Amino acid sequence: MRAMNFSPISTSRRGVALLGLGAALSMSTAAWADGQRRAGDVLSYAMPLGVAAYELYQGDREGAWQFGKAFVVTMGATEVLKRTTNVERPDHSDDESFPSGHASRAFSAATYMHRRHGIEAAWPMYLAATYVGWTRVDANRHRWGDVLGSAALSAAATWWLVDPKEERRVTVLPLIGPRGAGVEVSARW
């Protein structure tokens, strides 16, 4: 078997190369983390704006109004709790950690979609809102309890102020029995 020869020059070059690679990876990790934080920031504003725009585009003024009320109550309660609970942030920057404003905005949009349009329309929004919460925890600005508090607060406001949208439907069912046949028509407006 042949012995490997590590000269001092090649070892130092490898060391420099490894240091360079490590620095590049750490910089890319920092850039990745910063990108995730920014994505959470943008998403926390885009989600409620998107919900309001969607409802107005669909012509559902009542839904847009109800979302607006629930959103204002959620954000108002979030700000009151931030200033009265005095929970210190994990990064020790201030004492306004509970609840997370970013998560309150995102979960307000998700819970509205759930209440108004059903879980089928809401589950992607819940995933996005959870991602926003994760970015806040990952950035060391909040704890998971702050995010869960935001989700509970937005759910309470939404379930209180938003009515489910009842779709107008006409259902026609054939009825066949041993002594005859018929048609049942039911409608919801």
Higher pLDDT: 169 or 143? It is 143
Q: How many other C-beta atoms lie within 10 A of the C-beta of residue 165?
A: 17
Q: Where are the domains of the chain?
A: 17-171
**For 92-137, how does the pLDDT look when each residue is reduced to its tens digit (9 = 90+)?**
999 999 999 999 999 999 999 999 999 999 999 999 999 999 999 9
pLDDT value of residue 34: 83
Residue 60: exposed, middle, or buried by beta-carbon count in 10 A (0-12, 13-18, 19+)? middle
pTM of the entire predicted model: 0.74
pLDDT value of residue 185: 64
Confidence of residue 11 (pLDDT cuts 50, 70, 90): very low
Q: Give yes or no for a contact between 67 and 51, defined as CB atoms under 8 angstroms apart.
A: yes
Say whether pLDDT at 28 is over 60. no
Q: How many other C-beta atoms lie within 10 A of the C-beta of residue 139?
A: 18
CA distance 131 to 180: 57
Say whether pLDDT at 7 is over 60. no
**For 149-179, how does the pLDDT look when each residue is reduced to its tens digit (9 = 90+)?**
999 999 999 999 999 997 655 555 556 667 7
Of the listed ranges 37-46, 62-71, 176-185, the least confidently predicted one is 176-185
